[in-house]
A and B are shown apart, each in its own frame.
Chain A
Amino acid sequence: MALGLSSASPVKLHEFQAKQVLARAGIAIPEGRVATTPAEVEAAARAMGSGPWVVKAQVHVGGRGKAGGIKVANTPAEARTHAEAILGMDIKGLRVEKVYLERAAKIAKELYLGITLDRDRRCPVVMLSTVGGMDIEEVAASTPDRIARRWPSPLLGLLPFEARALVFAAGVDAAQRDGVADIAQRLYRTYEETDATLLEINPLFIQEDGSVIAGDAKLDIDDNALFRQHELAKLREVAPDEAAEEKARGLGFSYVQLEGDVGIIGNGAGLVMGTLDAVRNAGGRAANFLDVGGGAKEEVVRAALEIVLANPRVRSVFINIFGGITRGDEVAKGILSVIAEAPPKVPLVIRLSGTEAEAGRKLLEGAPLISKATMDEAAAEAVRAARASR
């Protein structure tokens, strides 16, 4: 069961941004304002009238509450004090730059409502539970029967009878059944319209007066759909440790930083994963994953090598190319241009096979690098070279 399985490297929205999307879909949210300084928070509290309020850190990680990133304030001055504590706080390595000031809900009950992709069933799954407010994966592990699930047809959407079946199965109180079913349908339409891979209201509050309101909101957008999600695409934020990965994305290849010291360049995601495994089999550890993609030209290979060499942990580089659309001679030219400009301080090991591999090897003759015939031999050599240059 794929519970809360997020796809790829989605665009993650902050709570205040996701709540705006919900509000546009007609789902009730508490009144709130976003702020970047304590003074703004105090002014916002005064402008919103009577409290209490909640001051909430806006960062792209879970567990804000436990980390002290969510605090209740009874006066505007108290809201300011909380904002002073939360702004600039470090939560799991991320600095809090923004807070969301929200009117506190009068909570009677907390539900969970979420939608994500179920890979195995090849369609979205809508989940509703009366055990709200906590991590749904914990609920799934401890009391799986407390989560009602429904798999709507992607061609039809979440139908009214399916939404009703959900609220009955979850055991929602009679007074809120229609309201929660309506929110589930609105949420499903929003999931579709925003190309979400995850859309979650946790908790979904039932207030003392019986009204239903979104306490928190999480929205991740499929990065393959950004060509048609222009507004949401603008909300992508790059974390500091993802800067190299973002630069690589801009150049059209994928790069993931890892912990080892053998730099890796290859063509094709599966081959690169296999290359990482080959390095591990040879007793070493890869410093990165880097796939130059199909048909990479000289400049792309050059940029890839520069990114890998810029990592101070790298002690050797293993370039593994099986040419299909990618040509061995283009790869060789990219490597040679880097060597000509600034000879790498670490050994380069290359394995060229497939299209124009012969021409590529010819170009590389006499260059300061080690050429091997197979992936296993090259992996062993790269690991040995990394150890030697430590």
Chain B
Amino acid sequence: MSVLLGKGTKVLVQGLGREGAFHAARMKEYGTRVVGATKPGKGGTTQDGIPLFDTVAQAVEATDANASIVFVPAQGARDAILEAIDSRIELVVAITEGIPVRDMVGIAAVLENVATTLIGPNCPGAITPGECKIGIMPAENFSPGAIGFVSRSGTLTYEIADLLTKAGLGQSTCLGIGGDPIIGLPTPDAVRLLNEDDATEAIVIVGEIGGAAEESAAEYMRAHGKKPAVAFIAGRSAPPGKRMGHAGAIVSGNQGTAESKVRAFEEADIRVANAPSEIPGLVKAALKGR
């Protein structure tokens, strides 16, 4: 078992433009079952061997798709995500960056009353190595195994997956949840999924400055943690009040500082790496100490 995505996942692509088409092909190469794509007005035709549909509802009807990946540009992303939710897609992965906060606040309110899980936006997506990839990450850095991995970052996720893989630590599922202030699957929820997953033996939590998600995740693990965890916080040297690329990575006053996050993890008995290169060693030590 793994969380959210695996061999049985059938993926629909929303937004088969240049980037969408490129990554749909990479996902197919990896073995992901890409069953269709939506392109209003082109329903009934195919593109790159992928059947096209006018609406998400028609695509689900015809293919039993239970996941979708959204590449639709920011202006139309809210509509695309809500269309997927309306068709009861179980897992929606939104790659799109630059979605207005107001749109995400509305989507977050809708998500409270539906069964859909949204990963992202502004994220690299999710991968269960060896089974299914719904995202834009370079697959060669990931390998099957028992480390659950959740990250708010993109390339840093690839970097750390690569370090884990080279250290012989394969991954159960990696969730790149995105760097925006409002995201579908915040860190604590992702950690809970991995904590409850039988295939996951240890959890790596990669956070960033800004918000209080890492603190909440630490609190959850302190109360309910069933397995060891290791954390890393990017942006420990960032000055307050400045945005570091990610809209969510901003420190205001005492809110969201690296110190507050590190303290929360340490109080939950979760070791915090000073650099990504320390993570594999800490994971091995944590697994041994169990």
Q: Mark B127-166, 1 if CB is under 8 A from A, else 0.
A: 0000000001110010000000001111111110010000
Contact (Cβ within 8 A) A271 B236:
no
Q: Which residues of the other chain, A, contact B252 by a CB distance below 8 angstroms? A: 2, 4-6
Contact (Cβ within 8 A) B246 A280:
no
Q: Compute how far the CA of A119 lies from the CA of B106 in the bound complex, rounded to whole angstroms.
A: 13
**A278 CB within 8 Å of chain B:** yes
Contact (Cβ within 8 A) A324 B136:
yes
Most buried by B among A192, A197, A256, A324: A324
Contact partner of A270 (CB less than 8 A), chosen from B156, B181, B247, B250, is B156
Which residues, 93 to 124 on A, are CB-close (under 8 Å) to B? Answer: 117, 119-120, 122-124
Identify the closest chain B residue to A253 (Cβ): B245
A174 CB, nearest partner CB in chain B, Å: 34
Contact (Cβ within 8 A) A224 B98:
yes
**B46 CB within 8 Å of chain A:** no
Q: Compute how far the CA of A278 lies from the CA of B278 in the bound complex, rounded to whole angstroms.
A: 12
The total of chain B residues at the interface (CB under 8 A) is 59
Q: Compute how far the CA of A256 lies from the CA of B182 in the bound complex, rounded to whole angstroms.
A: 23
Q: Which residues of the other chain, A, contact B138 by a CB distance below 8 angstroms? A: 323-324, 354-355
Contacts known (A225-B101, A276-B235); A271 close to B211, Cβ less than 8 A: no
Q: Mark B191-228, 1 if CB is under 8 A from A, else 0.
A: 00000000000000010110110001000000000000
**B244 CB within 8 Å of chain A:** yes
Contact partner of B179 (CB less than 8 A), chosen from A222, A269, A279, A281, is A269
Q: Mark B224-260, 1 if CB is under 8 A from A, else 0.
A: 0000000010111111001111111110110100000
Q: Which residues of the other chain, B, contact A270 by a CB distance below 8 angstroms? A: 151-157, 179, 206, 208, 234, 246
Q: Which residues of the other chain, A, contact B245 by a CB distance below 8 angstroms? A: 254, 268-269, 272-273, 289, 291
**A325 CB within 8 Å of chain B:** yes
**A62 CB within 8 Å of chain B:** no
Contact (Cβ within 8 A) B159 A256:
no
Most buried by A among B106, B157, B248, B252: B252
Q: Compute how far the CA of A279 lies from the CA of B190 in the bound complex, rounded to whole angstroms.
A: 30
Q: Compute how far the CA of A278 lies from the CA of B236 in the bound complex, rounded to whole angstroms.
A: 10
Q: Which residues of the other chain, A, contact B45 by a CB distance below 8 angstroms? A: none
**B124 CB within 8 Å of chain A:** yes
Q: Compute how far the CA of A266 lies from the CA of B235 in the bound complex, rounded to whole angstroms.
A: 14
A371 CB, nearest partner CB in chain B, Å: 17
Q: Which residues of the other chain, B, contact A276 by a CB distance below 8 angstroms? A: 235, 237-238
Q: Which residues of the other chain, A, contact B4 by a CB distance below 8 angstroms? A: none
Contacts known (A123-B108, A224-B99); A324 close to B236, Cβ less than 8 A: no
Most buried by A among B99, B249, B275, B277: B275
Q: Which residues of the other chain, A, contact B287 by a CB distance below 8 angstroms? A: none
Contact (Cβ within 8 A) B181 A273:
no
A279 CB, nearest partner CB in chain B, Å: 8
Contact (Cβ within 8 A) A8 B155:
no
Contact (Cβ within 8 A) A277 B236:
yes
Q: Which residues of the other chain, B, contact A228 by a CB distance below 8 angstroms? A: 75, 100
**A353 CB within 8 Å of chain B:** yes
**A195 CB within 8 Å of chain B:** yes
Contacts known (A153-B109, A227-B75, A269-B244); A322 close to B155, Cβ less than 8 A: yes
Contact partner of A289 (CB less than 8 A), chosen from B106, B154, B244, is B244
Contacts known (A195-B102, A222-B100); A268 close to B155, Cβ less than 8 A: yes
Q: Which residues of the other chain, A, contact B98 by a CB distance below 8 angstroms? A: 224
B96 CB, nearest partner CB in chain A, Å: 11
Contact (Cβ within 8 A) A195 B101:
yes
B223 CB, nearest partner CB in chain A, Å: 18
Q: Compute how far the CA of A152 lies from the CA of B72 in the bound complex, rounded to whole angstroms.
A: 29
**A331 CB within 8 Å of chain B:** no
Q: Mark A68-89, 1 if CB is under 8 A from B, else 0.
A: 0000000000000000000000
**B280 CB within 8 Å of chain A:** no
Q: Compute how far the CA of A294 lies from the CA of B33 in the bound complex, rounded to whole angstroms.
A: 25
Contact (Cβ within 8 A) B275 A375:
yes
Q: Which residues of the other chain, B, contact A195 by a CB distance below 8 angstroms? A: 100-102
**A250 CB within 8 Å of chain B:** no
Contact (Cβ within 8 A) A277 B234:
yes
**A376 CB within 8 Å of chain B:** yes
Identify the closest chain A residue to B176 (Cβ): A270
Identify the closest chain A residue to B104 (Cβ): A122
Q: Compute how far the CA of A195 lies from the CA of B103 in the bound complex, rounded to whole angstroms.
A: 9
Q: Which residues of the other chain, B, contact A2 by a CB distance below 8 angstroms? A: 252, 255
**B274 CB within 8 Å of chain A:** yes
Identify the closest chain A residue to B23 (Cβ): A325
Contacts known (A117-B105, A222-B101, A270-B246); A322 close to B159, Cβ less than 8 A: yes
Contact (Cβ within 8 A) A271 B153:
yes
Q: Which residues of the other chain, A, contact B152 by a CB distance below 8 angstroms? A: 270
A interface residue numbers (CB < 8 A to B): 2, 4-9, 117, 119-120, 122-124, 137, 153-155, 192, 195, 197, 222, 224-225, 227-228, 254, 256, 258-259, 266-274, 276-281, 285-286, 289, 291, 294, 322-325, 353-355, 374-376
Known: A274-B153, A289-B238. 15 other contacts (CB 8 A): A4-B252, A8-B247, A117-B101, A119-B212, A154-B106, A224-B247, A225-B100, A225-B101, A271-B156, A272-B245, A273-B235, A281-B274, A286-B237, A354-B141, A376-B275
For the complex of A and B, the 7 pairs showing the least CB-CB separation, nearest first, are: A270-B153, A268-B155, A269-B245, A270-B156, A225-B100, A273-B234, A273-B235
Instruction: Show 30 A/B contacts (Cβ-Cβ < 8 Å), sorted by A.
Output: A5-B255, A7-B101, A7-B250, A120-B216, A122-B109, A122-B182, A137-B253, A154-B106, A154-B108, A155-B106, A155-B109, A155-B110, A197-B101, A225-B100, A228-B100, A269-B244, A270-B157, A271-B156, A273-B209, A273-B235, A273-B238, A274-B234, A274-B275, A276-B235, A277-B275, A278-B275, A281-B274, A289-B238, A323-B138, A324-B138
